Amino acid sequence: MKNGTAANFHAIHITRDKCIGCVHCMAACPTRAIRVENGKARIIDQLCIDCAECLRVCPHDAVHSHTTSFASLEAFDYKVAIPSTVLYGQFGPTVLPNEILSALRRVGFDEVYDLSSICELNCAATEEYLNDHPRPRPYITATCPVVVRIIQRRYPSLCGQILPIEPPREIAAKILRTILPKSLGLPAAKIGIIHITPCPAKMVSINSPATLAKSYLDGAISIRDIFPQILQALSKNEEDALMRHLFPETLFSGTGMGWSLSGGETRGLKSHRAVAVSGLRDTMRVLDEVEGGLLQDIDLLECTVCPDGCVGGPLGVENRFLAKSRVLELVAAAGEHAVVDQKDVSRLYHRNFLSFDHPLEPVESHPLDRDPAKAIRKATRREKIFAGLPLKDCGICGAPDCRTLADDIVRGYARLEACPFVPTKKGPKAGSGKKKKKEKR
């Protein structure tokens, strides 16, 4: 189920048949990674951070995400699901987390594990790490895969400020990888561990992990895809659900349950100052400030690019406000008591069981030219070209804004004639072939 090469894997793709070449996605893209060429949108691989802003705005359903299909799990003899706690917020107030987990078993998973306790574990380990490492400040949490990728590409100097503890989904899968083959007597390759998520970028972190040699997860199913099956399983077994109300088998962590909301990751910190930011543009604004040396009096910065946190993920079903309200109820119901033993956390932490395999590294940057003198000349030329553009940011040229067109021109990806407002020396332009693609990125 892992498709694409690790280096270039992306979860977000354009369905060309459905794309009509409008400019919604291009305008929404925060890294200016989309161009419209010959009437179709194209995502530039090296600039895409899989944030799914394009998927959210496309009016023609032409942007899709590659997540794991349930059918592809047949390759495994034993199927394990670890759903994001966001899943608990997708149902009405009468459906309890235990019923959702049991419905997932009926859908076809052999075992299902709750992530809230592991979220609590992660929080306790983060606290310990912050105690042990007084500098640098702020550390930034590594839970949101888009934040990790945007830092590698746009804020490379902040790579060392990512707190090097794996997110709960990987820690949970790693624990299960350690214990299940022994307890089941099955080879590890026959056990499929699947995350259920509202987030397309989880597929990217599974296929090309940024801080692990290999992900402990085998795939990610979107909540949207599996939701109808869960509903069906829930409706069929009301009696069973009643029993599970009476004999809850999983102890949910209130601290961990809140992880699906912005601020949830840091809420459990006892002795550190934390700030939570959500939404892509706000995240970028705050990362700009951190790169400029601000926020050094903050210990931990939690960034999630979806609005309100993971609960605002694009592959959820329930609207995020209702989901958020439901999660808050569950947090309150679960209470404040710890379900994870601090001594266990400490032991795993000191064994480096929770750590990154390797530090986060910046990915290759894309200056105007590798030769500094040439880059300087190109930047000057770009400035001149930009000054002659209409600043309408209309997108007709196929670039999201005039600044990007100027940039594409000096990089050799576009020509000035692409702009319908700039008079050309050669007179009226021909209708096609406006853009020369010297080298396709």
Partner 1 sequence: MAGAEATYRKEFPVKGGDFAKAGAVACEIKELLKDLGLAVATVRRAAIVAYEAEMNVIMYAREARVDLAVSPDEVRLTFDDRGPGIPDVELALTEGYSTATAEMRELGFGAGMGLPNIKRNADVFAIDSEVGRGTRLDIIIRTNGHVTP
Taking the complex as a whole, the smallest distance from the CB of residue 288 to partner 1 amounts, in Å, to: 5
Residue 82, H or E segment: strand 78-83
Q: Which is nearer to partner 1, 218 or 401 (CB)?
A: 401
Q: Which is nearer to partner 1, 100 or 286 (CB)?
A: 286
Taking the complex as a whole, the smallest distance from the CB of residue 144 to partner 1 amounts, in Å, to: 21
Beta bridge mates, 64: 13
Q: Which is nearer to partner 1, 248 or 372 (CB)?
A: 372
Q: Which is nearer to partner 1, 377 or 429 (CB)?
A: 377
Could you tell me the end-to-end alpha-carbon distance of the chain, in angstroms, rounded to an integer? 26
Taking the complex as a whole, the smallest distance from the CB of residue 330 to partner 1 amounts, in Å, to: 33
Q: Which is nearer to partner 1, 374 or 438 (CB)?
A: 374
Backbone angles phi, psi at 31, to 5 degrees: -105, 10
Radius of gyration of the chain (CA): 24
Q: Which is nearer to partner 1, 249 or 297 (CB)?
A: 297
Q: Which is nearer to partner 1, 138 or 192 (CB)?
A: 138
Q: What would the two tokens of residue 133 be?
A: 């490492």
Residues that bind partner 1 (CB under 8 A): 156-157, 288-289, 291-297, 362, 364-365, 367-370, 372-377, 379-380, 383, 407
Taking the complex as a whole, the smallest distance from the CB of residue 292 to partner 1 amounts, in Å, to: 3
Q: How far apart are CA 291 and CA 136, in angstroms?
A: 12
Task: Quote the Cα angle for 4-11-13, to 5°.
Answer: 95
Q: How far apart are CA 362 and CA 419, in angstroms?
A: 34
Backbone angles phi, psi at 292, to 5 degrees: -85, 5
Provide the Cα torsion 137, 118, 77, 178; round to 10°: 70
Taking the complex as a whole, the smallest distance from the CB of residue 372 to partner 1 amounts, in Å, to: 4
Taking the complex as a whole, the smallest distance from the CB of residue 294 to partner 1 amounts, in Å, to: 6
Taking the complex as a whole, the smallest distance from the CB of residue 291 to partner 1 amounts, in Å, to: 5
Q: Length of the chain in residues, anyone?
A: 441
Beta bridge mates, 43: 34
Q: How far apart are CA 193 and CA 79, in angstroms?
A: 6
